[in-house]
Structure 1
Amino acid sequence: MKLLKTTIFLLLISCSFLQAKTDTIEVFSKAMNKSLKATVVKPAGIDGLEKQLPSVYVLHGAWGNHLDWHKNVKKADLLQSLADLYQIILVTPGVAPFSYYYDSPLMDSVQYETYISKELIPFVDANFPTIKDKNSRAITGLSMGGHGAMMIAAKHPELFTAAGSMSGVMNIDVRTWVGNEDTQEQRRKSQQEMLGDIEYDYPFSPYTAVGLVNQMKQNGIALIIDCGVDDFLIETNRQLHQLLLENETPHEYTERPGAHTWDYWTDALPYHMLFINQVFEKKKIRSLD
């Protein structure tokens, strides 16, 4: 019994230590008149130190929430280990299931581009020890979150120095998706409700990543895009890759074995963090020159 009590005590101490590095915040959105949760992961040992760190926003996919990247990855404490390794602050926001991080022209309850860019980021910068400069801020995400990361970065180059997508919906046109017709029809209907009639064919709507390639070129934001070869969104990623090649936008593009799974995203996130950290380091060196 004494051993059991000691074990429970140590577990409680351990959990308390972990909680000190991870905060769940609730941010009120004036744009949507509602509060949304996000999780902030800090490197171990920074509390109480006068130190400002880069920040990376990591977006979830459809049906997800602010805890997806914490509960569903296949390596325990993956985000914490990456925050510790690179000495960065990771933020995982939660949004509505099929919002795609849009600002809907039709629905006041779907204004997630505004929420991320004008409400969440200022809140995090005001309450956590972040470097409040675009050269130390990045955004990435999976699936729907990949779309959100690329879209928001393209529209807000004043906020980010790097953006990424893992298995992202680089074209919301469901005709470019492979298989699962029932899901495609559901997404098409939700797009109609949120966006109304938009241009799905070239030159594409600005509500989809492939319609923002000119902004991506002009902005000069470092881009990393990857997708599994067995992913149902592989063709949308190849399409964006080709458009970026045609307009000569520098970007990292990778296809690897894998599908639309947490096994794939668990492996992909460390590559994104390595890429983003290298961009941060380059910007830091240039600022010192």
Structure 2
Amino acid sequence: MKKIIVVFSMFCITLSMYASKVDTLLVHSEVMNKTIKNVIITPESYTNNGKAFPVVYMLHGAGGNYVAWLGKAPDIKAYADTYQVIIVCPDGAKTSWYFDSPIDDAMKYETYISKELVSKIDKSYNTLADSKHRAITGYSMGGHGALYLTLKHQDIWGAVASMSGGVDLRPFPKNWDLEKRLGVYATNQENWEQNTVINMVHLLDGKDLKILFDCGVDDFFYDANVRLHKKLLERNIPHDYIERPGGHTNAYWSNSIKYHMVFFNDFFKTNLKKD
């Protein structure tokens, strides 16, 4: 009986170690004239009158929604406590690709996330509201979105990561509603060229932005990630690139996010020392 009590007590202690709070925040988008749901995870130590925290934004993939990360990597609730950060998981619609669609005014997720949501988060929570304490990551479509948003808004995010990211959209003209967002490739080539991450490297100066991306060697986006890595090397843009066994799977993303959080934690710690 004593052994059972000891084991049960240890189990309870383990559960209490991570007591982050998960909420749903409704944010009205003026640019799309609709209300959007977002998961917000605050660490146990968070109080409305307490200290300010760095913020990590996590974007879901095609077909997902604002709760997708909780299902694919439940440990993110513990990471909010471990790394003392606020985690924000926006709803990016099933196939928004996180840009402002040049052909569909109902899909303006670049403006929503980079302006409306970030502003709302900083007004509603105790955040360290600058790029030195703000990071973003995502898987698949969300990996594209994280890089896309950061490359265009380096004043907002100081660190970015991507896992299994669709960093070159052009090889997939018939997939994931991309034609609905960018138009048919044959007659809208400029839309595709301007809104694919691998063509946006010219926006980087190689100075302050911290970049990490990874992809499984069995992933259908693997070739594009290798090409992005080589392009960054050619341009002398500092970055971390990792490839490991695995495909386009939940198991891969659940493992990958652990490394992204360490990367972001190092970034935040370095900047907190400078503050």
Tell me the TM-score range normalised by the shorter chain.
0.7 to 0.9
Cα offset for 1:206? 2.7
Spell out, residue by residue over 1:56-101, the C-alpha distance to the aligned partner (whole angstroms, 9 max, x if none).
Answer: 000000000000000233xxx4111100000000000001211100
Check if 1:23 corresponds to 2:55: no
Name the structure with the higher helix share.
1
Cα offset for 1:286? 2.8
Query: Take 2:249 and 2:200, find their aligned partners in 1: how far apart are those partners?
Result: 26
Aligned to 1:96: 93
Spell out, residue by residue over 1:239-286, the C-alpha distance to the aligned partner (whole angstroms, 9 max, x if none).
Answer: 111110010100000000110000000000010010011011112223
Query: Take 2:28 and 2:102, find their aligned partners in 1: how far apart are those partners?
Result: 21
Aligned to 2:81: 84
Query: Take 2:147 and 2:134, find their aligned partners in 1: how far apart are those partners?
Result: 14
Cα offset for 1:186? 5.3
Matches within 5 A, 1:109-188: 109-174=106-171, 184-185=174-175, 187-188=177-178
Cα offset for 1:194? 8.7
Q: Which amino acid aligns with 1:128?
A: Y
Q: 1:47 to 1:148 in 2, by over 3 A?
A: same
Residue pair 1:137, 1:160 contacting (<8 A) in 2 also = yes
Residue pair 1:104, 1:194 contacting (<8 A) in 2 also = no
Matches within 5 A, 1:171-210: 171-174=168-171, 184-185=174-175, 187-193=177-183, 197-199=188-190, 205-210=193-198
Q: Which amino acid aligns with 1:156?
A: H
Query: Take 1:234 and 1:157, find their aligned partners in 2: how far apart are those partners?
Result: 25
Residue pair 1:103, 1:113 contacting (<8 A) in 2 also = yes
Q: Which amino acid aligns with 2:163?
A: M
Aligned to 2:102: 105
Spell out, residue by residue over 1:23-78, the C-alpha distance to the aligned partner (whole angstroms, 9 max, x if none).
Answer: 101111111111111000011132355110000000000000000000233xxx41
Match of 2:205 among 217, 226, 230: 217
Q: 1:219 to 1:92 in 2, by over 3 A?
A: farther
Aligned to 2:216: 228
Between 1:20-29 and 1:221-230, the stretch displaced more is: 20-29
Cα offset for 1:185? 4.5
Query: Take 2:184 and 2:63, find their aligned partners in 1: how far apart are those partners?
Result: 16
Cα offset for 1:191? 4.1
Residue pair 1:174, 1:187 contacting (<8 A) in 2 also = no
- Give 3-state SS (helix, strand or coil) of 2:39's partner: strand
- Give 3-state SS (helix, strand or coil) of 2:118's partner: helix
Using the size of structure 2 for normalisation, the TM-score is: 0.88
Query: Take 2:108 and 2:86, find their aligned partners in 1: how far apart are those partners?
Result: 25
Query: Take 1:52 and 1:149, find their aligned partners in 2: how far apart are those partners?
Result: 23
Check if 1:68 corresponds to 2:68: yes
Q: 1:194 to 1:89 in 2, by over 3 A?
A: farther
Cα offset for 1:127? 0.6
- Give 3-state SS (helix, strand or coil) of 1:224's partner: strand
Query: Take 1:232 and 1:59, find their aligned partners in 2: how far apart are those partners?
Result: 19
Task: Give unpaired runs (5+ residues) of structure 2.
Answer: 1-14
- Give 3-state SS (helix, strand or coil) of 1:64's partner: coil
Residue pair 2:101, 2:182 contacting (<8 A) in 1 also = no
Query: Take 1:117 and 1:23, find their aligned partners in 2: how far apart are those partners?
Result: 21
Identity %: 38
Using the size of structure 1 for normalisation, the TM-score is: 0.84
Between 1:41-50 and 1:90-99, the stretch displaced more is: 41-50
Spell out, residue by residue over 1:3-40, the C-alpha distance to the aligned partner (whole angstroms, 9 max, x if none).
Answer: xxxxxxxxxxx9xx96x711101111111111111000
Cα offset for 1:219? 6.1
The alignment of Structure 1 onto Structure 2 pairs a total of residues equal to: 260
Aligned to 1:273: 261
Task: Give unpaired runs (5+ residues) of structure 1.
Answer: 1-13, 176-182
Residue pair 1:55, 1:131 contacting (<8 A) in 2 also = yes
